[in-house]
Structure 1
Amino acid sequence: MSHRNAPLTPTGRLRLARCVVDDGWPVRRAAERFQVSHTTAARWAGRYRQAGPEGMHDRSSRPHHQPRRSPATVEEHVVRLRHEHRIGPVRLAARCGIAPSTAHRILVRHNLPALATLDRATGEPVRRYERARPGELVHIDVKKLGRIPDGGGHKVLGRAAGRKNRTGTGLAYLHTALDDHSRLAYTEDLPDEKAATCAAFLTRATAWFAAHGISVERVLTDNAWAYTKNTWRDTCRNLGIQPRWTRPWRPQTNGKVERFHRTLLEEWAYIRPYTSDRERQAAFPDWLDWYNYHRPHTGIDGHTPASRVTNLPGQHT
């Protein structure tokens, strides 16, 4: 069916055409029987005479001749610049002397995907993956976040006063463990990212996932100093977990937890001005509960992370 209000499917068109061509019905009688206009009935009968049953399908609306289409040399230039410099339609248009909409149509015509779907380093489409079950792989990373001094930072006091008030506030180290399949997340605010701190976090995160019915099998981290020491390896071995590491200079491999940290900053850390670090930390448990149990996640078709864990939504109150 062409669209939701189309009166005839290809099968209905074939029936109408056979009534007119094979059975000899008048076109007007067939139009009344199938509740379409006289013109529509005549069109499908004519196509049936010309092409038989295959003519009952929709035809492309693209014109046979496009005299104003961009010359082949221009299209080749656009495609070459896209491959060489990985730039979008606006910049391509400026270089080639065409409209941005024309550059966009050329990219679509040559099946070149949007830049957002490409790997920045290689220009190849990003290969996305997802583990088949919860616990098969857990991503771990640390996000550093400036602490808010009592009285507020620059968002509350302004730039000048905020700069004076921030002296000695230090950094918050947000350690996060995120399940690859469900996107269920566990985060702690810790004072540093030393090897012993990271190992202790892994122990607590593993226990938290176990309490939610998830047995951690593998952990994926970057190549930070703390994750390459024997403390980390020994902790993984004691917990029965296989440690994995990303390729150097390839943060995309651990992209799920990187994306979670971006969401965390946008929806919790920077969502409103806070007057102290204690106020911001007090708001975090509610936000994490919202993320795990109530927030639709676009990476898993709008479901919540908890909905992908066996019976977890029923355990939540």
Structure 2
Amino acid sequence: MAGEVLSMKVFAAVLAFVAGEPVNVTRVCREAGCSRKTFYKYAARARVEGTAAGRQRSRRPLSSPQAISADVENEIVKLRKDLADAGVDHGATTIQWHLGRDRRWKGRVPSVATVHRVLTRRGFVTPQPTKRPKSSWRRFEAPAPNEWWQIDATEWVTAGGVVYIFNIIDDHSRLACRSRVVVEATASQAWTTFCQAAQRWGLPAGVLSDNGLCFSGKLRGFEVKFEANLRDAGIRPITARPYHPQTTGKVERFQQTLKKWLRRQDRKRGLARDLAELQARLDEFCDYYNTRRPHQGIGRGTPISRWRAMPASTPAAEPLEHPAPRPDAQTVIIDRDGKLYVNDLAIHVGVRWAGTEAIVIVDAFYATIFAGGELVRHLKIDHSRRYQPSRQRRGGPRQPRRVTS
């Protein structure tokens, strides 16, 4: 390595050897842990350079035929800036993908690792702490287009205030089937958004969502309009388990990418003045996302190319059966120990809800508990025991009680 200095003991022996003094070269090298070849190499240099020979020279080759050219490196930097300014992905993988589709660089496209090194050398890469390895995630993917869609709603801000954006993603191809802005995220608006997506891309076999009230009333003991309409069309409504956003992770990740782009547009063009202007931006982004953006989750292809690569699934030929009505809700008071009693069951909820009025829905298999206007527990009943513990680890900070008496 350039700049490394030879051991002073060895170099002193080298200078003595060059000056004609008797030196036991073998013993000096053995004690210093260097080779005789290295000793004589520095001796030859010392005869020419004197004491300046002690500093090692750079091992960089005189020429590097495989080194990236300056024009390619400058194009990498330009692409990085242009993509970042547009508010879209601008990592090494995306930059290499765009270079590979530009005829100017045919046969000269560097590897992703080389692009990353260029970005690091030019100061565009910020070191990050070690992240959880991707191999630790349990991944799933629909086997064909339209096998199931993922739907979600997220908030956004316009010049007129807070609005909501419904987003629908095809699980197999990651195609953005529809992004639509609305004033309120209701079941009726969710169904309208779904119909607009289906009009262009066809009906899916299933729809995956979280437990938001506009998508599902499963945890609340009733069926909302959105899931009822799906069943009537032969489409399976699928809901994620509570507090597990990873199940709808593809549409959640899409919304992160969408918001990153929208924030950039807000800085460049200002906040959207109304729903129509924001909808135009959503349509612009979806066109780019589907047709011109490499998606690493599908092998760096575009969603539209993957959607067209195989036949799409279709819903069932007959309407699906609607679920039987759940039992009526019961109102109970959570005791000072954080437990409630219903249908000969004692269910632990938590002392922070002590003294609170809870709404409980219990059927043969599950219990759903609402308190303080939110879902606080949904559990599968263990019929082998009366007491249903929380299954949470003991310890941690003490939870405050809502009442003391």
Q: TM-score, normalised by structure 1?
A: 0.50
Q: TM-score, normalised by structure 2?
A: 0.39
Q: Is the strand fraction higher in 1 or 2?
A: 2
Q: Is the helix fraction higher in 1 or 2?
A: 1
Larger CA Rg, structure 1 vs 2: 2
